[in-house]
Amino acid sequence: MSSPASPPPAGVPPIWRRALDNPWFMLVMLFFVTAALGIPFLWISRGFSTLAKIVLTIVVLIWTAVIFWLFWLVMVWSWTRVSDALGWS
């Protein structure tokens, strides 16, 4: 029986490596958790081909831009409501 602090047996990748190599986990992480900040993890992953990584990088960057644009729209809408309510307009 091995203790929790012992290293994994030889030939068994660490759990973080198995997570990064799982394509479904990477897609969920890229689109619902990290957005553009997850691109380095995508390129470390062995679960995608180079072409798929290039395509996913472009798609994730577009997705991130859409998220920021929607955030900006919500902030402008909120600012107009607050400034009108306070008589700052």
In tens digits, the chain (89 residues) has pLDDT values of 556 677 667 788 899 899 999 999 999 999 999 999 999 999 999 999 999 999 999 999 999 999 999 999 999 999 999 999 999 86
Q: How far apart are the C-alpha atoms of 59 and 73, rounded to whole Å?
A: 21
pTM over 0.85: no
The answer to whether 46 touches 19, Cβ cutoff 8 Å, is: no
In sequence order, the 6+-apart residues with CB closer than 8 A to the CB of 24 are: none
Sorted by sequence, the CB contacts under 8 Å of residue 47 that are 6+ apart come out as 20, 21, 22, 23, 26
